[in-house]
Structure 1
């Protein structure tokens, strides 16, 4: 059975944790990977967008060449079809250490926002520890449980479901930077709907906390 990202993210010493906050300064992050297991599989693309006081700023994107025992065969045909990333495209990509070092400089100490963010953070935390010999201490905020809280009757809560509901175009779904921009647009919209549905941002956060059933004493904060 594949390791679940919620069972991995935040488990390495010195790594961040999932927060129940609604930050206005943050970095939206999305990854493409060779599979679902942050220990056995590898990152093939990183996308990120900084948002400062609610305003989008610089973006970051890089392909990442994974380690393989077969020269030139980096990803499966399924992953290539899903993402549009090809083996040829990965030939000139930097290795994980160089890519993660550059991403770490871009990220700094800011909070990460992501869709199903525990998945991405599990891979990043594993990558930082393995490749850079240091933990990734950044905390993160997950948009997925916000969507589940606002739309509890939906059968699926994938990013494309939320984007379709909000009429947010994602021109390159399953490419990291395009998914990042889509996530940010949906994050802004879902917190507005959450505040309207539950009466306030604080009440919405409390509903999200109950949905996720975190450990006792988890701190709630609007910002």
Structure 2
């Protein structure tokens, strides 16, 4: 989602990987703001990938406990109060979401934001930790496409020639990130023959 400098220590957080697994789960959240200590999750989305193809998805609105959806967030996400009215609380969503991503390598665009936000909510509202290893599409884009004017997901999609989903929502962002990730994999394979060769050359 959005970029925010966050240096909080999270003891059980998983490993940041530069890799191209064929089985993984893409995650994305929408929130009322950028600060996990002050703002809240209003949507959680994920798509499960097997052999580089989407096979399942998870989607849930989340009812915030005290925060409101600002006009800026409403405009960005298309989510308003009516859409989240009656939605589950975060403590009810986390167990279902955790079951969906259990044992998975996670992928996302600027996925540190999503993982940190989720990690803090796991810690606050459950008795387990979010400790999955993860791959950040933002880092991959910066490494493989340094010529881009920026590395927002919308920009990466356009530059890679992938149709942009105008709906800035959790599952649609997951699907978009999946397409970008697979496009970068294909680029590496076309140039180097195999991802492992690329990683060896660049000591990744």
Decide: shared fold, TM above 0.5. yes
Judged with a 3 Å threshold, the aligned counterparts in structure 2 of structure 1 residues 77 and 208 are, in CA distance, closer, same or farther, namely farther
Q: Contact (CA 8 Å) 2:52, 2:182: kept in 1 or not?
A: no
Following superposition, the deviation at residue 172 of structure 1 comes to 4.0
| Equivalent residue pairs, number | 202
Looking at structure 2, the residues matched to 49 and 201 of structure 1 have their Cα atoms a distance apart, in angstroms, of 23
Output the CA distance in 2 between the equivalents of 1:108 and 1:143.
20
Change in Cα spacing, 1:115 to 1:101, as seen in structure 2 (3 Å) is same
Query: Given the alignment, which residue of 18, 38, 45 partners 1:47?
Result: 45
Q: Distance in 2 between matches of 1:121 and 1:206?
A: 28
Shift of 1:34: 1.0
Q: Is 2:14–2:134's contact at 8 Å kept on the other side of the alignment? A: yes
Give the unaligned 5+ runs of structure 1: 210-219
Q: Which residue of 2 aligns with 1:89?
A: 83
- TM-score under structure 1 length normalisation: 0.82
Task: List per-residue Cα deviations over 1:57-84 (Å, max 9, x = no partner).
Answer: 1111011111116xxxx21111001100
Does 1:22 pair with 2:23?
no
Structure 1 distance, partners of 2:164, 2:93, is 24
- Whole-angstrom CA distance in 2 between matches of 1:208 and 1:115: 22
Structure 2 segments unaligned to the other structure (5+ residues): none
1:14–1:137 CA contact under 8 A, matched in 2:
yes
In the alignment, the residues of structure 2 paired with residue 15 and residue 107 of structure 1 have an alpha-carbon distance, to the nearest angstrom, of 14
- The separation in 2 between residues aligned to 1:119 and 1:208, in whole angstroms, is 26
CA contact (8 A) 1:17 1:138 kept: yes
RMSD of the TM alignment (CA)?
A: 2.1
